[in-house]
């Protein structure tokens, strides 16, 4: 059974890399106002923060879902 969930089978890291490649850190920081995207951003520091911060992770996942549904990746 295939899933219609765009997050299905996606790791947080792959979501983050895809968003960063598409938007860049600066735009990610404007869309989601969290320090790990604004101050010295990196995939590793962002992953650490997002794994500890459910509300921020949810925002990243929501942005990803919006991005995927707009671009049909």
Q: What is the CATH number of the domain that holds 37?
A: 1.10.720.30
Q: Is residue 6 part of a domain?
A: no
Question: What is the C-alpha separation between 33 and 1, in angstroms, rounded?
Answer: 37
Assign 72 a pLDDT band (cuts: 50, 70, 90): low
Helix (H) / strand (E) element for 7: namely none
Q: Is residue 5 part of a domain?
A: no
pLDDT digits (tens, 9 = 90+) for 5-45: 889 999 999 999 999 999 999 999 999 999 999 999 999 99
Q: Is residue 1 part of a domain?
A: no
Number of domains in the chain: 1
Q: Is residue 3 part of a domain?
A: no
Q: Is residue 22 part of a domain?
A: yes
53: left (phi over 0), alpha (psi -120 to 50) or beta: beta
Residue numbers of the domain that contains 34: 12-71
pTM of the model: 0.89
Q: Is residue 4 part of a domain?
A: no
């Amino acid at each position: 059974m295939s899933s219609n969930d765009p997050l299905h089978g996606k790791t947080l890291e792959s979501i983050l890399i895809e968003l960063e490649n598409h938007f860049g850190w600066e735009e990610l920081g404007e869309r989601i106002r969290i320090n790990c995207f604004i101050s010295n951003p990196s995939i590793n520091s962002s992953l650490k923060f997002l794994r500890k911060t459910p509300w921020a992770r949810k925002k990243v996942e929501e942005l990803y879902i919006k991005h995927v549904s707009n671009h049909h990746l």
